Structure 1
Amino acid sequence: MSAMDSNAEQQHSTTTASTDYAHGQLARAFATALSHPDPATRSRADARAGRWRAVLAGMLDGSLRIGSRTPVAGLPAWVTPEVERGGFATGRACAEGPLQPYEVAACRAAGIPEGRAELFAYSLTEAGLAGLWALLDSGRYRVTVPEEAALLTVAWLVRVGEQSAALQLVGVLAPFAARLRFTPPPGDSAGAAHDAVHRRSVGDAVTALASRRPNRSVESQREALTVWLPFSDELLAHWLEATEDGQPLDADPGPEWRRRGAELLLRYRTLAAAHPLCGKHRRHGTNLAVLRSALETAATGEPLNPRLRGLLRAAVDGMVRKRGLPGSETHSALRATQAEQAALPSHHAIAQVLLSRLAVLGQGDGLADPDAVLMPVTAAEAAESGVPAGAAVPAALFKPVLAATSAPVETLVERGLVPSAEVLAELAPQLAAAAEAGAHADPALRGLVSAGHRAFAGRRSLLLLDYAHQVRAEELPWVRAVGPYRSGDPAAQQSGLAALRRLGELAVGTFPGTILPNPLISELAGLARRADSALPFTEELAADIFMGGFTPKFAAAAGIAAGLLEGTLYERYFGIDYAGVWALAQRAEEDRERSVVAREFSELCRRRAGSPARRGSVAANGTVIEQAQILTTHNLAVLAGPVGVVPTGGWSAAALGAFTTARRLVALAERLPRPLPVVKNAAFAWRQLVFHLSLCPPQEQAAVLAEIERDHPPRLAPAVAGLQLATAGGGVEPDGADGRRFLGWTVGPHWLLRR
């Protein structure tokens, strides 16, 4: 690993972490557990409060060292800690806890006592290793936390004759054998295609569909159509028998009529008890309520009082006038149409059909063919479910199924299933896992490495102090043990670089106006390391915990930007002396100069931010961090330069895409009561626009600028004027009268929001 990449991702430079944040989170969780109306939310909040109590207890008794790479006493850095919001370790490891059902089953199958230490020891016997080899070759396992790949790695090492490496790894794991899971749970299948990724699993789709409940209003309407309208027709027909010249009960209808009326009333009570959803029939003054109320009186032989007689007459006349006589052509056609509507299957019923289709698939996998799940109901399914054959799946049920689509990421982007850079960041570990696995020749090892990488990507970051860096995958003992088996040939290295370029092009080309999220940056940096390419990818730093300094890799990244952008529109628009930045970055090549260069780069950023007087405030910190992002281009120069990224459609398309994002965000900010976060993102999109535009040939640059001049909203006029000034070769001031830079952070009111 290069010295450059050994720099920290965190910005704290102190020796202790305060308990204030933990106390605040505990109070928030406790309040939610007490007052939230949803029982499930209260339960989750109560569990979260318990974890925060554990954090505070550990901080107070010294068993937790928040800010350290080894925050839990007795656990080495490679153990995956349970981490709460803000990077606070709780004191537990993710791989500990009660025996999982699959562990219990394995112990029983082996005839050994139920315990992790016993299962660990058995796994190292001849029979245990044979079982692990079979599991390795089948690929039917899921690594949910990185530790679960450890004993499979031991088994692989033994099989290829690396007993010494296997014994060394066992020696590292053995002290934790009784506490941590080192074997994986079984999986449903051998995994997806090498190039396929998925955002959600089949199991996630099942959970989403199973959580759907019948829509009460829809089912109430269905009940009205199938139960109460036909019954009201019967009541109306019964009253029409007792009507002469439009006058109800002018003559005694006789005992037979009253007997059948009593039967109708009895059936009404039965229907009301069996069908409680629709309550309109109980509502005073409705036609059905009037017909029923009048019948209750008439069935006893009592005469109707004048008021009730008038209501009855109005109800009968109104129903006949509106729908026709029961049995007439008009009335029958209406009821037939309503019956067809009522017969349509509910979304809930069709969801049950989808659940049965998904139940036979691997729950941890993605869906290679979602269309097969979303096809109309078959005859066999109709016979089993009662849903009519040929019934189409409603669009409302598409989303959870399509979210589980497994396909190349480009396909997911085309289908609109990757709506943001953050979602792309969720998929990045799967792409990186495939690239990492491809560096190994053995198929079983490829599958294991891929599964382990995906699990490691779920490891939550710790709060770290003194510029320490997060644990990296190559620090895990079982990953390190198979490191020598990575292919060192140029083809493997080129494959890693190709994966890096592919991910970079997807990010820049698909979301040209969005800065790279930190999880995506982490995967890009990992791909670069594994391709033996020392590239300084820089994270977005948090303004609320920024301690005022940057690590040497920020200066190195700015040096790459200088080599790419010196003399360009970008340099002029942001007023950068890239020649000076280049000279500063070159000094960082010498180890003895690195810390000095880091300090000088940090001071340069503070000067460019105007040396804010309120140093240490979130806004002041933000202005300094933004200047570092401007100087480094926040990874765009690294991608466009050494990595060789060129977005689909070229840089002009990326520039227009970034402009569209900035314009949309500015319009959104005008409508929000608290617009500053959106203004900040609009400024970031504008910065990316300037970068993309700077890489366009002059003719394309002029065409894009002309379109921006035509379509920009009035509030962006000062920024557009600044862009025109820089394009013409002039310099742009942060708050110039003839044009200005569009920056996101400010310690005072933002010019974009002035009325």
Structure 2
Amino acid sequence: MNEGQFGYAYGQLRRALRHAGADSARAAGWRAVLDGMADGTLTVGSRTPVADTPAWVTLEVLHGGFASGRYLAEEPLREDEIELVRALPDGAPGTTDRERLNLHYLTDEGQAVLLGALAAGSYRVEVPEHAALMTVAWLLAHDHHAAALDLVVVVRPLMHRLRMTPVFGEPSAPAGSVVRLQSVKQVKTSLRAITTPSAIDTMRTRLRERPLYDRLVALWCETVEGELPALHDDGVVTGGWPCRVWPADWSARRTALLAETEGVTAHPRANFTRLRTALAACETDSRSLTARDVGWVRRALANTIGKHGVPGSERRTALREAELSVVERPTRAELAEAVAVRLDAYSDDGGVPSIEPITEDVDGWSVPDGVVAKVSRAWEAPVEELVARDVITSGEVLATVLPQITASLLAANIEDPALSALYARTYAAFRRRRSLLLLDLATQVGFSELPWVAALEPLRAHRRDAAEAARQTLAQTTTLALTAFPHAILPNPLVSEFASLAKQAGLRMPLVEEVAADIFMGTFTTKFRDAAVIASRVMAGSLYARYYDLPETWPEETTTRWGRKTADEFAKVCKARAAEARRGRMPGVAVNGTVLEQSQIVTTHNLAVLADGLGLWDRLTVLAPGLATRSLGWALRRTAVPTSDRHAALTAVKNAAYAWRQGIFFLSFCDTEKQRTIVDELRPRPAGTDLGPAVDGLAAVVAGYRFDADGTVHNGRRWLSWGGGERCP
């Protein structure tokens, strides 16, 4: 057992216990991880981490890529399934209710149900396993008996545990070219999770009680002989004394007011408490009150009259009206509930075509921006519009919705419309699987490794129009990601989706993922070298190539390690280049980080590969000045944000270095004069800071100079994010 992995899991459990509680699902998941690591039933770092479990089973994966051992398709029976089990004949085969259900759907009656739902499209695939037996039904109905039998043989050992049929009902995926982030049900859940802080609830309660307080003050004022008490700056109270005058109906009104204020809870030392306590002790005269009690009543009256005026006065009335307006204003939670009620009119598993009717004013009150943002997550619209409206705010979020488009493109090669829809929904469900923590260059489970998907691969034609549609989608989405988030590298989920589109389009693109420094195995697969070859070729002579001293050629030697072809010579080059960032003694993770940074630099982390493979050069030339300005400016602003958290500070520098590198890539497509102008505009920002040398170094390279072997030139230096054992600007 790896001590670092165990320590990480233990730390996550402690956080879960501290923040979510001992009975939370999060804590239970991390307990399962630790137990599995201890007894050997979980192997962290493997693509099959759960003992006796095939790779195609969808696992619960916690933060950091740790599998808990739970199968997501191993779910309790739903109401409709319970009813069906009760209706099965006595002696129906199966050791569990789940197995009896799965086997039922292999009968003629069950197959007819599956085929009916398939034809009508009235089903949902929430977990990839839900598509298994519907695929069997289609294969049998179309005389692919051998393939169907082979598929049943593969999934049969887990029929007693996994649901292998879809959820019957209306589909949840949006139609056409629109996408959404969440379903209506998910949005309603998040809206109804909004609560009002107890402090605000208490404040609103106190404001509602203020009229009772005013009546209490007024009642005591009627007992004052002479002028009402007044409080002076020196703390001295002047004016008349209470309990000297007793109106005829005072006792009855006192009794009624005591009853009305029975449930009011105030601070023991508050004026309200003192006045009511005295009122409860006082009958028709002051004999039940001590002189000290009367003194406190007099001071309480002086306090409130001095602050807010006499009850009924213009000053006090205006204050109470302002307080009443606060009480009448609905809370954020109340407005969120009103919006959730509006969403009840829509299908839980669907989205909404427009957010305006749902987020219009509630009884004249504006819906808070945060509530509107939550509703927007269910808005079904073209991805470009969601980006423009700040619903999709990052490449990571873009990656979560892109499978909704990719799925239909991949399924376009299947001629049967019903089967094509099943394929698309299965792909969308597969893309919701969380990635595992993998070691030894292991790869994540591929879509075609699902047995029911593999059974359909021979039936997929390779249509030219489908390939062209995939290419166009990839080009449009790449351009969208670069223009919307020019400062951010393409996140791994988005890279995976781009790779799927490239494969569908028939394009050979060596797209590379970001590798975590703590699991780096010291070498790279050959696609990293292939990406570097493309980057060196297409960026030759550019500002980017000069700034980062890109090699002109790359060694082609290939080695086999852990069953994968590796480019060890490429790794050696990256390690040699990383020496520039090494200052003094560095921990192993930091050393890995310097090497991985160089791998990103020499490959441009997919920018050159995508631009070259998709022919985006002309488009980039037009967009380059704006993208460069935004990326470089973001890098400088990000490092200027102060933070006391060490991890947050390191992450900030890493992201700033990514933005700086991307900015230089875009700047390479500008002419020299434009490059000088953009760099000069950066100079005022880092003046007198550690970033001044970074800007000076870029300016020197624009002017035609090159960095020395130690990464310096004149007063400038090359910006690398790692150094001295930590990331640094």
Question: Does residue 491 in structure 1 map to residue 465 in structure 2?
Answer: yes
**1:401 Cα deviation from its structure 2 partner:** 1.9
> Deviation string for 1:439-463 (max 9, x for gaps)?
4444323332222112211223334
> Deviation string for 1:638-691 (max 9, x for gaps)?
111112344696122111121022111221268765633322322222111111
The 1:700/1:447 distance shift into structure 2, 3 A limit, reads farther
> Deviation string for 1:133-190 (max 9, x for gaps)?
2322333333222111112222233444434433332333233322322112234545
The 1:608/1:47 distance shift into structure 2, 3 A limit, reads closer
Question: Does residue 695 in structure 1 map to residue 695 in structure 2?
Answer: no
**1:619 Cα deviation from its structure 2 partner:** 1.6
Question: 2:242·2:298 contact (CA, 8 Å) conserved in 1?
Answer: no
Match of 2:279 among 270, 273, 295: 295
Match of 1:605 among 574, 585, 596: 574
Look up the match of 1:720.
695
**1:479 Cα deviation from its structure 2 partner:** 1.5
Please give the alpha-carbon distance, in whole angstroms, between the structure 2 residues aligned to 1:102 and 1:21.
45
Match of 2:623 among 642, 645, 650: 650
Please give the alpha-carbon distance, in whole angstroms, between the structure 2 residues aligned to 1:214 and 1:344.
13
Match of 2:6 among 23, 42, 63: 23
Look up the match of 1:232.
213
Question: Does residue 745 in structure 1 map to residue 722 in structure 2?
Answer: yes
Match of 2:269 among 264, 280, 283: 283
Look up the match of 2:329.
344
Please give the alpha-carbon distance, in whole angstroms, between the structure 2 residues aligned to 1:544 and 1:249.
76
Look up the match of 2:85.
107
Question: Does residue 211 in structure 1 map to residue 193 in structure 2?
Answer: yes
Match of 1:152 among 134, 142, 146: 134
Look up the match of 1:199.
181
**1:239 Cα deviation from its structure 2 partner:** 3.0
> Deviation string for 1:604-645 (max 9, x for gaps)?
112222397979811222111111111111111111111234
Alignment of 1:392-541 (within 5 A): 392-541=366-515
Look up the match of 1:624.
595
Question: 1:141·1:187 contact (CA, 8 Å) conserved in 2?
Answer: yes
- TM-score, normalised to structure 1, is 0.84
Aligned length: 703
Question: Does residue 366 in structure 1 map to residue 344 in structure 2?
Answer: no
**1:74 Cα deviation from its structure 2 partner:** 3.7
**1:431 Cα deviation from its structure 2 partner:** 3.3
Please give the alpha-carbon distance, in whole angstroms, between the structure 2 residues aligned to 1:252 and 1:68.
88
Please give the alpha-carbon distance, in whole angstroms, between the structure 2 residues aligned to 1:596 and 1:318.
84
**1:81 Cα deviation from its structure 2 partner:** 3.5
**1:425 Cα deviation from its structure 2 partner:** 2.6
Please give the alpha-carbon distance, in whole angstroms, between the structure 1 residues aligned to 2:622 and 2:169.
40
> Deviation string for 1:265-294 (max 9, x for gaps)?
24332x33xxx4xx24x434x2x3343344
Letter of the 1:606 partner, please give it. Answer: K
**1:19 Cα deviation from its structure 2 partner:** 3.7
Look up the match of 1:7.
none
Look up the match of 2:235.
none
Q: List alignment gaps of at least 5 residues for structure 2.
A: 228-239
Alignment of 1:369-388 (within 5 A): 369-377=354-362
Report the secondary structure of 2:452's partner residue.
helix
Please give the alpha-carbon distance, in whole angstroms, between the structure 2 residues aligned to 1:651 and 1:197.
28
The 1:292/1:91 distance shift into structure 2, 3 A limit, reads closer
The 1:38/1:519 distance shift into structure 2, 3 A limit, reads closer
Question: 2:223·2:242 contact (CA, 8 Å) conserved in 1?
Answer: yes
> Deviation string for 1:47-71 (max 9, x for gaps)?
4213320233135xxxx55544444
The 1:217/1:575 distance shift into structure 2, 3 A limit, reads same
Report the secondary structure of 2:462's partner residue.
coil
Match of 1:223 among 190, 205, 216: 205
Please give the alpha-carbon distance, in whole angstroms, between the structure 2 residues aligned to 1:58 and 1:591.
28
**1:521 Cα deviation from its structure 2 partner:** 1.3
Report the secondary structure of 1:373's partner residue.
helix
**1:373 Cα deviation from its structure 2 partner:** 1.9
Q: Which moved more, 1:513-522 or 1:247-256?
A: 247-256
> Deviation string for 1:696-753 (max 9, x for gaps)?
344543443343345554432322222223223332234324132111122457774x
Alignment of 1:128-167 (within 5 A): 128-167=110-149
Look up the match of 1:552.
526
Alignment of 1:648-687 (within 5 A): 650-668=623-641, 675-687=649-661
Q: Which moved more, 1:462-471 or 1:680-689?
A: 462-471
The 1:620/1:640 distance shift into structure 2, 3 A limit, reads same
Please give the alpha-carbon distance, in whole angstroms, between the structure 2 residues aligned to 1:120 and 1:297.
75
Please give the alpha-carbon distance, in whole angstroms, between the structure 1 residues aligned to 2:243 and 2:135.
94
**1:434 Cα deviation from its structure 2 partner:** 3.5
The 1:610/1:316 distance shift into structure 2, 3 A limit, reads closer
Question: 1:509·1:648 contact (CA, 8 Å) conserved in 2?
Answer: no
Report the secondary structure of 1:533's partner residue.
coil
Please give the alpha-carbon distance, in whole angstroms, between the structure 1 residues aligned to 2:258 and 2:615.
81
Look up the match of 1:736.
712
Q: Which moved more, 1:502-511 or 1:439-448?
A: 439-448
Look up the match of 2:341.
356
Question: 1:29·1:46 contact (CA, 8 Å) conserved in 2?
Answer: no
Question: 2:129·2:163 contact (CA, 8 Å) conserved in 1?
Answer: yes
Question: 2:525·2:565 contact (CA, 8 Å) conserved in 1?
Answer: no
Question: 1:568·1:694 contact (CA, 8 Å) conserved in 2?
Answer: yes
Please give the alpha-carbon distance, in whole angstroms, between the structure 2 residues aligned to 1:684 and 1:541.
14
> Deviation string for 1:315-340 (max 9, x for gaps)?
44555565555445665555444434
Letter of the 1:195 partner, please give it. Answer: S
The 1:460/1:748 distance shift into structure 2, 3 A limit, reads closer
Please give the alpha-carbon distance, in whole angstroms, between the structure 1 residues aligned to 2:632 and 2:644.
19
Q: List alignment gaps of at least 5 residues for structure 1.
A: 1-17, 378-388
Letter of the 1:368 partner, please give it. Answer: P
The 1:213/1:188 distance shift into structure 2, 3 A limit, reads farther
Report the secondary structure of 2:718's partner residue.
coil
Report the secondary structure of 2:717's partner residue.
coil
Q: Which moved more, 1:207-216 or 1:633-642?
A: 207-216
Letter of the 1:459 partner, please give it. Answer: R
Q: Which moved more, 1:397-406 or 1:705-714?
A: 705-714
> Deviation string for 1:469-520 (max 9, x for gaps)?
2211012122122224434222110111122222222222211121222122
**1:230 Cα deviation from its structure 2 partner:** 1.8
Greater helix proportion: 1
**1:411 Cα deviation from its structure 2 partner:** 1.4
Larger RCO (alpha carbons 8 Å, 6+ apart): 1
Look up the match of 1:568.
542
Q: Which moved more, 1:658-667 or 1:724-733?
A: 724-733
Letter of the 2:601 partner, please give it. Answer: I
The 1:735/1:354 distance shift into structure 2, 3 A limit, reads same
The 1:291/1:91 distance shift into structure 2, 3 A limit, reads closer
**1:403 Cα deviation from its structure 2 partner:** 2.9
Letter of the 1:258 partner, please give it. Answer: S
